Chain A
Amino acid sequence: MSTIEHDQLLLKGLAENDKKSIETIYRQNYSMIQSFVLNNNGSADDARDIFQEAMVVLYEKAKLSSFLLSCQLKTYLYSICRRLWLKRLQQMSKFSTQVENLEETVAVEEEIEEHEKVNNDFILMEHAMNKIGEPCKSLLDAYYLQKKNMLEIAGEFGYTNADNAKTQKYKCLVRLKKLFFAQYKNA
């Protein structure tokens, strides 16, 4: 199999949240990123954070049908990690213009920008979710995230019937929505 086909396959698996593919990507790239971060004022923990974030960027990209990898996956991942790490260094105001380069890079500025938006949305939703409290949180989680049906949920949470559970679910959703959009107003 050529590198391109191999990379395409991995990306497909990644988009489907397939554990095997994710593991393979880690195995093939992690040590490179780790040595990059360690060589540039970072710790093993930083390396893990950065790689995780890069994987999220890649995941977001891989899910788009329009996405076409224009270089090797390895180069792409390295470019993203490098950009993310530079950004982090800047925030810590430890920025030194001399960041050692181990590999060739491609331009990934757009990706990082998009990722920041996605990340921001994620944090806002997580905040709202953490604020509504139980049992709302679990109820919404079960219905909207785990996609369980109302009957199952009624049984699990101890509602007498699915309709009651449904009413409760909508009440919770209204609250979540309020909390979620309130953050936009404040921000």
Chain B
Amino acid sequence: MEDILLLEAVERYLAGEMNLQEKSMFEDLRKKNAELDQLVVEHTYFLQGLDKYGTLKSFKHTLLEVESNLAAEGLMATPALKGKAKVLSLWNKYKRSMAVAASIAGFISLLTLGLTITYTKKYGNESYYELVKEITKTNKEIIVLKSKNVLPAIPIKPEPKVDFMGSGFLIDGKGYLVTNAHVISKMKNIYVENTKGQYYNAVAVYTDNNVDLAILKINDTAFRAVTNLPYSIKRSNSDLGEQFFTLGFPRKEIVYGEGYVSAKSGSDGDTTSYQLTVSANPGNSGGPVINRNGEIIGIITAKDSKADGVVYAAKSKNIFNLLDKIKPEEKYQLKTPVNTTLKGLDRVQQVKKMEEFVYMVVGN
């Protein structure tokens, strides 16, 4: 406690907040007491250091913002994607289908039928595998239940009927999103909704079942293009042990999670994905996996029903492979964000800045 009072006095002295009498008393004390004198010197040095740190930090942040503006304009070159030998990618593809075949039993998708939440509440901790079955059986029944629950809010558009629910995120401010292929595979109509509660009609532009990814385009006149996405997409592989956070919609509200990369390959050596240790639930499918610099490193796809906390995520570089495939078409010249403005911010700020670009993907 004494220390604190002393520190407070030192800070007031340094800030020039003392009145004349106090000041002269303090200075007298400083002359007599070498320890206090040392404390004042040390604290001055420290506060200067802290101040320098603060200004430099905000300067670096401005730099990143400027860079991301310029990169969006195409003034700065983006790192070239390193090509993979054809044989290797064929092998990867082949591996992938083997992986899927071999692991069907232990490998379940995180796509959720829209009413999981109701069910979970009723039955508690049943495993998801059973859950899916139950819902398919009573699908109709629950849909009726659901429509009763919808409150007559002031509807601008009628709320869509929701059978399936997953997550997705913007990769181009013009309204292009990435999600999992399995999230939308059974949807006839696709809608996306952001954390502000705005929802839009969307269509699938491209689906790749091999890597389980899909690109959606918001097809809605109400949608306003976003100029700068705060995060970037990582082209290289992440390292073992890299820490990350996730955002997704296992319920009708955005949910945050944290974890680390636990293996560089997914289920059965599938090299197009990672194994992660994180908690993920049905509905997290398609959600972004973001490292501490604000780079997207993966897309949550599935979890192992037999093991605890074993989650699989498609590697972010697959997104670029998908984009290359749609590129030949004139209208699909997507510009992905190349720079992150999230670097150096604390986690709460990072999430605040990016949550509105993560979407709930729903459909029927």
Contacts and interface: CB of A to CB of B under 8 A. Distances in A.
A174 B3 contact: yes
B53 A126 contact: yes
Interface stretch (B56-64, B200-208, B304-312): B56-64
A45 B70 contact: no
A145 interface: yes
A118 B55 CA distance: 12
Contacts of B75: 26-27, 30-31
Interface stretch (B44-52, B122-130, B134-142, B316-324): B44-52
A19 B67 CA distance: 11
A174 B7 contact: yes
A64 B342 CA distance: 29
A30 B63 CA distance: 12
A120 B343 CA distance: 18
A22 B46 contact: no
Nearest to B53: A125
Contacts of A177: 43, 46
B257 interface: no
Given A56-B56, A121-B49, A44 B69 contact: no
B185 to A, nearest CB: 36
Contacts of B51: 144
B80 interface: yes
A162 to B, nearest CB: 13
Contact of A180 (B46, B63, B77): B46
B76 interface: yes
Given A121-B52, A126-B53, 16 more contacts: A19-B62, A22-B63, A23-B66, A23-B70, A26-B67, A30-B70, A38-B77, A44-B78, A48-B76, A56-B56, A56-B59, A122-B56, A122-B57, A137-B346, A145-B50, A180-B49
B8 A52 contact: no
A129 B57 CA distance: 12
Contacts of B346: 137-138, 141
A181 B50 CA distance: 12
A95 B230 CA distance: 36
B46 A118 contact: no
Interface residues on B, range: 20 to 34
A34 B77 contact: yes
A44 B235 CA distance: 13
Q: Is the interface of A mostly helix, strand, loop or mixed?
A: helix
Nearest to A124: B49
Contact of A27 (B50, B56, B70, B77): B70
Interface in A17-58: 17, 19, 22-23, 26-27, 30-31, 34, 38, 43-45, 47-48, 52, 55-56
Contacts of B355: none
Contacts of B52: 118, 121-122, 125
Interface of A: 17, 19, 22-23, 26-27, 30-31, 34, 38, 43-45, 47-48, 52, 55-56, 59, 118, 121-122, 125-126, 129, 137-138, 140-141, 144-145, 166-167, 170-171, 173-174, 177, 180-181
B65 interface: yes
The CB with the most chain A CB atoms within 10 A, among B8, B59, B70, is that of: B59
B79 interface: yes
Contact of A19 (B50, B55, B65, B77): B65
A170 B79 contact: no
B54 interface: yes
A13 B278 CA distance: 45
B66 A19 contact: yes
Given A17-B55, A30-B75, A34-B76, A23 B69 contact: yes
B76 A122 contact: no
Given A44-B79, A56-B56, A170-B7, A125 B50 contact: yes
Contacts of B348: 138
B153 interface: no
B70 A26 contact: yes
The CB with the most chain A CB atoms within 10 A, among B63, B76, B346, is that of: B63
Interface string B17-59: 0000000000000000000000000010011011111111111
Contacts of A171: 4
